[in-house]
């Protein structure tokens, strides 16, 4: 089994039922992954998880569906244990979990701050921790963050702020896991044409984001197309295995004008 190919390798994808996570699950299966563990959060995404699992199996890979809230260390430990029990070993771990809140700082409640920190920062930290314990040697660990680490827009203090620590966690884990040949990286997409984005936007603010995207007229949506993120994921877990401790912004021309 070559680390420069996804063929024969087992992959765990959190948030792997739909949107970018679903696309990643299907893409890696179509390119020869042996198995995909598809995590989803709750009953609302169960049907989407089943649909993605069907596509994974149609591509010739084994599919297993796992669920749960990942905002505790224990939940992440259980996730990896269940994935390993189903697939035998985990070679690639990809965390796409996140939640967006668009709200001015002056109006943000303590409860909202805590929830955003739990989902975007704490869950990512303990996913990285458990990946370090459970990933096979010479594996790949990848977290989806946000281009708001480099470009800024009003109202996203708790989202961008919650994702910001993950950049440091990525560098720290790259140092700590490197002696086992595990590469640790992050990808920060720009605003994508998914319900994840539109759930927080009005028609006017969505148009604003499209106006901030220099290459918008070259995408199919005016935003970052999820189809343009999957090749970066694929590259990092195969040909780009030697990269580690990096955060790559894939922002579709998102600028700070």
Q: Return the structure tokens found at 164.
A: 């910001």
3-state SS class at 44: helix
Query: Which residue in the block uniquely carries the two structure tokens 């809140």?
Result: 101
The pLDDT value given to residue 189: 83
The pLDDT value given to residue 219: 64
3-state SS class at 143: strand
The pLDDT value given to residue 256: 44
Q: Return the structure tokens found at 254.
A: 């998102």
Mean pLDDT by 10 residues, the chain (257 residues): 89 96 97 98 94 98 98 98 98 95 94 97 98 97 85 80 94 97 91 58 58 62 78 93 87 50
The predicted-structure confidence for 122-140, as pLDDT tens digits, reads as follows 999 999 999 999 999 999 9
The predicted-structure confidence for 192-204, as pLDDT tens digits, reads as follows 655 555 555 556 5
The pLDDT value given to residue 100: 86
* Cα–Cα distances in angstroms (integers) from residue 112 to residues 29, 60, 101, 164, in the given order: 36, 42, 8, 17
Kindly report the average pLDDT of the chain as a whole number: 88
Could you give the percent of the chain with pLDDT greater than 90? 68
CA pair distance 136, 90, nearest whole angstrom: 6
Contact in structure between 179 and 134 (CB atoms under 8 Å): no
* Cα–Cα distances in angstroms (integers) from residue 128 to residues 49, 60, 92, 156, 161, in the given order: 23, 28, 12, 24, 18
Strand 92-95 and strand 140-144: the pairing is parallel
Ordered by start, the domain boundaries in the chain are 10-189+229-249
Of the options 3.40.50.1000, 3.40.50.620, 3.40.50.2300, 3.40.50.720, the CATH number for the domain spanning 10-189+229-249: 3.40.50.720
The pLDDT value given to residue 220: 65
The pLDDT value given to residue 250: 77
* C-alpha closest to that of 135 among 62, 84, 85: 84
> Which alpha helices (H) appear in 15-109, and where do they start and end?
19-30, 46-58, 73-87
The pLDDT value given to residue 228: 85
The pLDDT value given to residue 206: 57
* Cα–Cα distances in angstroms (integers) from residue 191 to residues 133, 187, 216, 219, in the given order: 32, 13, 11, 12
């Amino acid at each position: 089994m070559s680390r420069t190919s996804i063929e024969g390798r087992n992959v765990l994808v959190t948030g792997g039922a739909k949107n970018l996570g679903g696309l990643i699950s299907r893409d890696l299966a179509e390119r020869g992954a042996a198995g995909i563990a598809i995590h989803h959060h709750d009953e609302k995404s169960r049907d989407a998880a089943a649909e993605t699992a069907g596509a994974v199996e149609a591509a010739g890979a084994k599919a297993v569906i796992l669920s749960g809230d990942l905002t505790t260390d224990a939940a992440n430990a259980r996730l990896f244990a269940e994935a390993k029990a189903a697939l035998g070993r985990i070679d690639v771990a990809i965390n796409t979990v996140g939640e967006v809140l668009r709200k001015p700082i002056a109006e943000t409640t303590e409860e909202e701050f805590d929830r955003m920190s739990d989902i975007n920062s704490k869950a990512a930290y303990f996913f990285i921790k458990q990946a370090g314990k459970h990933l096979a040697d010479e594996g790949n660990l990848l977290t989806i963050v946000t281009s708001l680490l480099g470009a800024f827009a009003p109202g996203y203090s708790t989202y961008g702020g919650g994702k910001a620590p993950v950049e440091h966690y990525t560098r720290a884990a790259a140092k700590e896991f490197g002696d086992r040949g595990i590469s640790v990286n992050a990808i920060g997409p720009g605003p994508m044409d998914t319900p994840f984005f539109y759930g927080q936007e009005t028609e006017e603010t969505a148009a604003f984001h499209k106006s901030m995207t220099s290459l918008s007229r070259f995408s199919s949506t005016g935003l970052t197309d999820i189809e343009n993120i999957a090749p970066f994921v694929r590259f990092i877990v195969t040909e780009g295995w030697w990269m580690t401790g990096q955060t790559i912004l894939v922002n579709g021309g998102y600028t700070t004008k």
